[in-house]
Amino acid sequence: LLQEIEQNQALNAFVDINKELTLAQALLADKQLTVGADSANRVLLGTPLAHKDIFVTEGWRTTAGSKMLRDYLSPFNATVIDALNAAGTVSLGKVSCDEFAMGSGNEHAAIGPVLNPWDHEVVPGGSSGGSAAAVAAGLVLGATGTDTGGSVRQPAALCGICGIKPTYGVASRFGMIAYASSLDQAGVMANNADDLALLLDAISGFDPRDATSIETCHGTANAPGRILADYNKCLQSYVGDKPLKGIRIGVPKEYFGQGLNNDVATAVQAAIAELEALGASRVDISLPNTAYAIPAYYVIAPAEASSNLARYDAVRYGHRTSEYSDLEDMTARSRTEGFGAEVRKRIMIGTYVLSHGYYDAYYLQAQRVRRLIAEGFQTAFANQCDVILGPVNPTVAPAIGSVAQDATAEWLGDIYTLSVNLAGLPGMSIPCGFAPGHRGQPLPVGLQLIGNYFDEGRMLAIAHTYQ
């Protein structure tokens, strides 16, 4: 695999490789395979993974896709990385992402864009674009990602793989470089729902080092909630002739409105029809506040980012400019040089909406909208449906260079993913066919599953049944 990664350098997916460490992990896994380890603990032994360059890692650099952290080496591992190491997985290295996870195409990475393995002219999606590309290219069996507003689900969709972002608080944020802390959540990406279940089993669980971590979090397919179970067991929940009989699928009309590409809509509708053929019933629902997710998110996320990124002051760590007149000048110059354009823009927006006089008009208002969006989902889950289905992204992967110049276009593309983070719900993306790309070439389409809190087991079981 290390050789294949080298042969696939053109993809620009990997940002740091450490052959010695990878081989050491592989040898360790090999040894454990031959000795004791009981079967429950050996299921992931030796599984080759790649980690998003947002998780801090001992032995591999952590740059967060930024010049600011170009040479940063963490003295400790993120909890998610420790958990996967403990399960015996083997890290093939760190993979690229948009700078500080801000973006939807992996075009805002300091080292340049990642190419989509399906077609080198299109983006892999973002911000976990390197993770998705590495899995889709077969360089690893799974990858970690983070999802603040769609960054696990959207690149998974655009690269034709699976991705899940669990309920906020299910996986630890300790050691995940912070973008917008009330929205950030770790997730996993892989080829199918079964692999996701195993990886999610490994990364979920209480972590006292993360104040928003939830104490017991696993549910079962039929009993969502804080019950300890395992996701892998949930997979086999639906059997028989009409395995999905009794499952009510909510299809929000707002997810099929203006802006959605026709061919993407057709692929998603066909997948919903297939689930109906498996016994599920379809319920047309409405999530009336969907359109407000974009303005609310692009106030709240930059607000939190402006605060989180204040730590890069060129004193404690990060890029430091070579010439400066005084302390303030040093920080200002270093931040201007170290952060890319998208990050600087968001810091400015965030600072603005939090400033005295604008706080009530923008930030507080956005928080009210956030509450309404969360309540909209709760009404649907309480009265109408068990799971919500729709597209992940309005289009297939766009050509490199076609979206990132236009901030509005890039931000509008997040319409179907942002609400999930604003509400803290679990969201998942699975491949559901193809639609024509910018040259008419077939590119993958993703189907999004949105579940109620702690309903990951059921979502994975539905995906397993569909696949």
Interacting residues toward ligand GLN by CB under 6 A: 101-104, 127, 147-151, 179, 301, 414
CB of 417 to ligand GLN, least distance (A): 7
Tell me whether residue 127 is one of the annotated catalytic residues: yes
Tell me whether residue 151 is one of the annotated catalytic residues: yes
CB of 416 to ligand GLN, least distance (A): 12
CB of 221 to ligand GLN, least distance (A): 27
Q: Select 102 or 200, whichever has its Cβ closest to ligand GLN.
A: 102
Q: Select 48 or 394, whichever has its Cβ closest to ligand GLN.
A: 394
Q: Select 169 or 219, whichever has its Cβ closest to ligand GLN.
A: 169
| First-to-final CA distance of the chain | 26
Written as one letter, the residue type at 251 is V
For residue 50, list its beta bridge partners. 143
User: How far is C-alpha 31 from the chain's CA centre?
Assistant: 32
Q: Select 285 or 301, whichever has its Cβ closest to ligand GLN.
A: 301
Q: Pick the catalytic residue: 91, 104, 151, 306?
A: 151
Q: Pick the catalytic residue: 66, 74, 104, 127?
A: 127
Q: Select 103 or 166, whichever has its Cβ closest to ligand GLN.
A: 103
Written as one letter, the residue type at 247 is I
Q: Pick the catalytic residue: 52, 66, 74, 172?
A: 52
Backbone region of residue 6 per phi and psi (left: phi > 0; alpha: psi in -120 to 50; beta: other values)? alpha
User: How far is C-alpha 80 from the chain's CA centre?
Assistant: 14
Handedness of CA 204, 209, 213, 216 (dihedral sign): positive
CB of 403 to ligand GLN, least distance (A): 11
**Closest by Cα among 221, 21, 184, 147 to 417:** 147
Tell me whether residue 286 is one of the annotated catalytic residues: no
How crowded is residue 276: how many other Cβ atoms within 10 Å of its Cβ? 15
Burial class (CB in 10 A: 0-12, 13-18, 19+), 192: middle
Q: Select 87 or 296, whichever has its Cβ closest to ligand GLN.
A: 296
Compute CA distances 424 → 15, 80, 190, 401, 453, whole Å: 30, 19, 22, 31, 8
CB of 95 to ligand GLN, least distance (A): 14
CB of 411 to ligand GLN, least distance (A): 7
- Residues designated as active site: 52, 127, 151
